[in-house]
Amino acid sequence: MSINYQQLEKINKFLKNFPSARLQIVTKNRDSKIIKDLIDKGYRLFGENKVQEANEKYKNFALENLRLHLIGPLQTNKVRAALELFNTIESIDREKLVKEIVKVQNNFKTKTSNFFIQVNIGEEEQKSGVLPENLDYLYAMCVQNSLNISGLMCIPPFDQNSKKYFDKLRSLRDKLNPNLKLSMGMSNDYEISLKCGSNLIRVGSRIFS
C-alpha cells in the first residue's frame, strides 16, 4: 500500500477553490508508515473509524501536532478512551451517547473539544446517525449539556446522487444554526460536496494504491 501523490495533488488543487474547506485524510486500515509519510509531507488532519485501532497506530506520534477525528460509530463503553484520544468526534447520534460523554467529561480530564452530530441523511436502517426529524431535539440536548457542537456530518446513500443529500444537510444546518460546519463528501463525491458547501471532506481510498 502506498500514497497516490498524483491524486492527492489533484484534490489539493481542487480545494484551493474553496478557502473555507479542509481535507481530512482517512487512515483506517492504513499502517503507521503511511501515516508517518503523510506527516512528513506536512499533513496534520486525520480521520479514523475505530477507537482502538486509532490508539494503536497513533500512540507513537506527537499528537499535540496533529488533529485526529473519530468518524465512525462510538460505543458508550469506548467513550472515555475516545475523549482522551480524539480532538473531534464527528459521530454524535443519540441521547444515550451524549449523556455518557457528559458524565466522562465531568469526572475525567479529556482531550476532545469539538463534536459533530451525525445525521442519517438518507434514513437508512443500516447506518448510524440521528434521523433528520430528530436533529433539533438532539442538538438542543447537546447545547443544554454544554457539549460543543461545531458541525454536522453525513454519509449519503452509496448508490444515489449525493448532491440532493448534501443540499438537504446544508438546509438542515441553515435552519438549526448557520454557524455550524459541514463534514460531507468522501473519495467518490468530494467535488460535489465542496460545491454544496462542505467545510470538511473525508478522503481515504482515492489517495491510496
Instruction: Flag the least confident range among 25-29, 47-51, 62-66, 97-101.
Output: 62-66
Q: Full-prediction pTM beyond 0.85?
A: yes
pLDDT in tens, 7-59: 999 999 999 999 999 999 999 999 999 999 999 999 999 999 999 999 999 98
CATH of domain 5-207: 3.20.20.10
Please give the Cα distance from 72 to 131 (Å, whole number).
17
Q: What span, in angstroms and rounded, lies between the C-alpha atoms of 136 and 175? A: 9
The answer for residues whose C-beta is within 8 angstroms of residue 115's C-beta and 6 or more apart is 88, 89, 90, 92, 101, 142, 147, 148, 149, 150
Residue 60 binned pLDDT confidence (cut-offs 50, 70, 90): confident
pLDDT at 1: 77
State the pLDDT confidence band at 95, using cuts at 50, 70 and 90.
very high
pLDDT (tens digit per residue) in 145-200: 999 999 999 999 988 999 999 999 999 999 999 999 999 999 999 999 999 999 99
What are the structural domain ranges in the chain? 5-207
